Amino acid sequence: MRQILLVALKILVSGALLYLALRGVNVSAILARMNQINLGWIAVAIAMTLVQILLGALRWREITALCGAPLSAAQALRFNMIGAFFNQSLPSSIGGDAVRLWLVSRTGAGWRAATYSVLVDRAIGLVALAILIVASLPWSYQLIGDARGRAALSLIDFGALAAGLAFLAFGRLSWAWLTAWLPTKHIHACAVIANKVIFSRQSGPKIAVLSLAVHVLAVVIAWAVVRSIAAPATFPQVFLLIPPIMLITMLPISIAGWGVREATMMVAFGYAGLPQADGLVVSILFGAVSFAVGAIGGLVWVFSAEKAAKGSAAMELQEQ
């Protein structure tokens, strides 16, 4: 019952935010943009999203090895594609991360190692994104002239960076009670692994390059969408606007970021002196690209051995 209520709440939040985003927008301007979509650029965005998932899989593979749940590159890619399907295509509280966790656990790694690998992967991605945003703040301040916009951007960016650094610092503590007390035991274990991954001479540089590449590709995807409707935003503007939007979209309060992304994109475009209607169209197309890639992940799931095994187990239970 709780899961049903959570899904209903997320759908309600997504719907409410989409309504607020669409309420004051010039519909004719949106339709005009939609009518001039260049499908070639949309294809580029889809291709870049697939590359982004591949790079994310390579990063996750490095992390799983240190978590005691080693995956091959092919397994990590396949699991990430399936996770993209559950993240983007289904209004579910399961989520892509939980599905990835389940898939890793089925390899014989165990639930603890699988859980650690997914949580550390997410934490490292957040830290890399926060560092990228903070490093670009001087140029973001030049782009955003509004004082409230600058303040909000600083609060969000430094808050995320502080949380990430606190997580890493937590793993450096050696107090005995941290590993004995249940509420801190697993968080501390994840923080220890994250430190090993980031500061290892062998895996650290790979993780840094892959993490930054994943976030830069999000900018490239958005840029391809911008070009598909011939919006006036330049690449530097997109580079400065998209990472903070992606950070806010990570908040688990809506379905696949719908509503949150649209509202944030419109506000960000407005602060940058760009048409808010363009921000809304870019956000919708960005979400559509993710949905299309999620559909490809759905095909991977349908034809996967894990799906077949799950179906066979369900049939056996029904026969009993």
The string of DSSP letters for 53-94 reads: HHHHHHHHHHHHHHTT----HHHHHHHHHHHHHHHHT---SS
Which residue, 152, 133, 99, 288, is CA-closest to 211?
133
Give percent of the chain above pLDDT 70: 84
Give the pLDDT of residue 310: 65
| Higher-confidence position of 61 and 93 | 61
Model-level pTM? 0.86
pLDDT of 313 above 50: no
Give the pLDDT of residue 17: 59
Spatial CB neighbours of 33, under 8 Å, sequence gap ≥ 6: 229, 231, 277, 278, 281
Give the pLDDT of residue 25: 64
Q: From CA 169, how far away is CA 186, in angstroms rounded?
A: 15
The average pLDDT across 131-144 equals: 91
